[in-house]
Structure 1
Amino acid sequence: MNFGYREVCLDHDTGPRHPESADRLRAIRRGLAEYHGVEYVAAGDADEELICKVHDPDYVEEIKAFCQEGGGNWDADTVAVEDTWKAALASAGLAEWAALSALDGDDGRETPFALGRPPGHHAVADDAMGFCFVDNAVVAAQSALDEGADGVAIFDWDVHHGNGTQDICYDRDDIFYASIHEEGLYPGTGEVDETGTGDGAMRTLNVPYDPGADTVDYLAAVDELIAPEIESFDPDLLLVSAGFDAHRHDPISRMRVSSEGYGLLTQRMRDLTDRCDAGLGFVLEGGYSLDTLTDSLTTVHEVFDGYQPSQPDGSVSEDARDVLDALVDQGFGST
């Protein structure tokens, strides 16, 4: 894979005990150092005009001023310093690079993965929250649409629901958003009946699994619902909001996805984009155990180098099956 990375993303200093720290990127870089042929791309900043197509311009000016004045606690979870806005522009720019590279045909061992921070999928149109200031994936999708893509799909496998991505895209027909997340976890959104409105009706697909869902449950959601719906949408680009905090050893969730599971999800996305003749790019979101974050992300990388992850044993849990059946009742899975 090709990885987008900028040193300025390390300058977003969240403090010594914050889970979303610069050590996440440092750990990933150490893990990738073991592989030959890894390429890093220092993409430019996202243009503020582009960001203002996704976020309210008044909010953009407010958060810029907040950082210029030294930052502080935006809310209980979301911390900024003077360099945070610079890091946010870089992180969004890396996501934009991943989208446009994938749209331009970079695939296989050149598949792009944006290693930016702060992450993005909780940032709503007019507010920062959940460690996020700019919704990187939606900025990237908007750039692809501006460059001529007819439709973009975003699959969010972070353990938290991407309320920001949903909020921004909820009434749009040119972006399909699908999320698997832990029911009841922050921010408490993403129910099965949240399916979009207006032009965006049935363009949002939420799979809110109970705590304890494992790799088998995740693969069932993809195979039975998410992949068929995205294939029916027929996007020119698929972006993965790639958080690794549904890992069974992540400290802030109770899901049971394995590192091999992330490799299998990656295989599914690669096969899906082959069927759709679409580009595929990845944008980093969460993941707060440095070891499992690194292990999972390098497994994703290895898939594009020929690695075949092990298929898990077991069957879909009853709780997961209930969620999938509820989504069928909403009208998904009939395409």
Structure 2
Amino acid sequence: MQFGYSELCLAHDPGSRHPESPDRLRAIRERLKRKHGVEYVDADPCELDTMAAVHDREYLESVREFCADGGGSWDPDTTAVEETWDAARRSAGLACWAAEQALEGATGRETPFSIGRPPGHHAVTDNAMGFCFVNNVAVAAQHALDTDAYDVDRVAIVDWDVHHGNGTQDIFYDRGDVFFVSLHEKGLYPGTGEIEETGAADGTGTTMNVPMPAGTDDREYLAAFDGPIAAALTDFDPDLLLISAGFDAHRHDPISRIRLSTEAYALMSDRVRSLADDTDAALAFVLEGGYGLDVLADSVALVHETFDGREPIEPDDEPGENAESTLEDVLDAHELDVDLDDV
């Protein structure tokens, strides 16, 4: 894979006790040293106008001024330093780079994966929260839609971070040109992402939330991909598929109770690759969360291996019943005719 990366993203340092630390990127880079075919590409920082296509301009100016004044605690979870504004601009720029590369034909071993930070999917139109200042994947989606050369009419975003991507949902909730899917742990921060939240106005039906019960495992996540997600995105037929790739649903991540294995990330990557192929969509990944350094690094490396030719290993057991009613309710909310016994 091509990995979008900038040393500048290490300068955003919210403190040694903060889970969203520069060591996340260092761990990924160290793990990828052992892998064949890894390429790193830097990108230009995102322009204010590009970010302002999804964020309130006054909010962005306030973040810039906050950082210029030395930063501090924006809220109890979200901390900035002087360098955070430049890191956030670069992180958004890397996400745009990933979308651009995908739309320009990068696929297979060249599939782009932006590993910028700070992450983005909790940042709403006019506020930072949940470690996030600029919604990187939303900026990238809007950039693709706004760039005439790419001829993009529809973008799909699949967010498999363990936390609901409330910011991405908020930005596109009443839009019909972006389909947003979030798989997340039910009841976990920020407490949003119920099945009934399916969009509004022109966006009615273009938000899909799959709030998984604590304890959900690989097979149940795969059933979500093979059932409601595949059906909905096939109908939507996106030109670009962006993955908000958080790795904190891993069973060894310190801040969640979902029970995914490392192999699950290879399997989900294979599923979204097949979805992109079936819909003739460009495909790119954008890093979100993941706070156990070893499992984060191992999981990103396995995504890379999947695109480098490794065949993912399907689990032997059948899907459990932990999330069965959740998936049935998702199908009903979106009026999808899928028999879960067949997936």
CA contact (8 A) 2:95 2:137 kept: yes
Letter in 2 for 1:100: E
Give 1:158's aligned residue.
161
- TM-score between both structures, scaled by the size of structure 1: 0.99
Give 1:36's aligned residue.
36
Give 1:226's aligned residue.
229
1:101-112 to 2 correspondences below 5 Å: 101-112=101-112
Letter in 2 for 1:271: S
CA contact (8 A) 1:124 1:135 kept: yes
Q: Distance in 2 between matches of 1:194 and 1:315?
A: 29
Give 1:168's aligned residue.
171
Give 2:341's aligned residue.
none
Cα deviation, 1:214-244, whole Å, max 9, x if unaligned, reads 1101000011011111111111100000000
CA displacement at 1:305 relative to structure 2:
1.0
1:1-335 to 2 correspondences below 5 Å: 1-147=1-147, 148-334=151-337
Q: Distance in 2 between matches of 1:42 and 1:218?
A: 33
CA contact (8 A) 1:214 1:255 kept: yes
Which secondary structure state, in structure 1, belongs to the residue aligned with residue 53 of structure 2? helix
Which secondary structure state, in structure 2, belongs to the residue aligned with residue 54 of structure 1? coil
Letter in 2 for 1:33: K
CA displacement at 1:309 relative to structure 2:
1.6
- TM-score between both structures, scaled by the size of structure 2: 0.96
Q: Distance in 2 between matches of 1:199 and 1:42?
A: 36
CA contact (8 A) 2:37 2:308 kept: no
Which secondary structure state, in structure 2, belongs to the residue aligned with residue 58 of structure 1? helix
Runs of 4+ displaced beyond 3 Å: none
CA displacement at 1:332 relative to structure 2:
4.0
CA contact (8 A) 1:229 1:332 kept: no
CA displacement at 1:36 relative to structure 2:
2.6
Q: Distance in 1 between matches of 2:73 and 2:320?
A: 40
Moved more, 306-315 or 65-74: 306-315
Cα deviation, 1:172-205, whole Å, max 9, x if unaligned, reads 1110000100001000000000000000000000
CA contact (8 A) 1:191 1:206 kept: yes
Which secondary structure state, in structure 1, belongs to the residue aligned with residue 263 of structure 2? helix
Q: Distance in 1 between matches of 2:212 and 2:295?
A: 21
Alignment CA distance shift 1:329-1:36 (3 Å): closer
Cα deviation, 1:42-71, whole Å, max 9, x if unaligned, reads 111111101001001110111111000000
CA contact (8 A) 1:224 1:333 kept: no
Q: Distance in 1 between matches of 2:138 and 2:43?
A: 17
CA displacement at 1:12 relative to structure 2:
0.2
CA contact (8 A) 1:178 1:206 kept: yes
Moved more, 49-58 or 32-41: 32-41
Q: Distance in 2 between matches of 1:266 and 1:21?
A: 25
Moved more, 74-83 or 308-317: 308-317
Moved more, 169-178 or 36-45: 36-45
CA contact (8 A) 2:46 2:93 kept: yes
CA displacement at 1:37 relative to structure 2:
2.4
Unaligned runs of 5+ residues in structure 1 are: none
Identity of aligned residues (%): 60
Q: Distance in 2 between matches of 1:163 and 1:75?
A: 16
Q: Distance in 2 between matches of 1:319 and 1:301?
A: 30
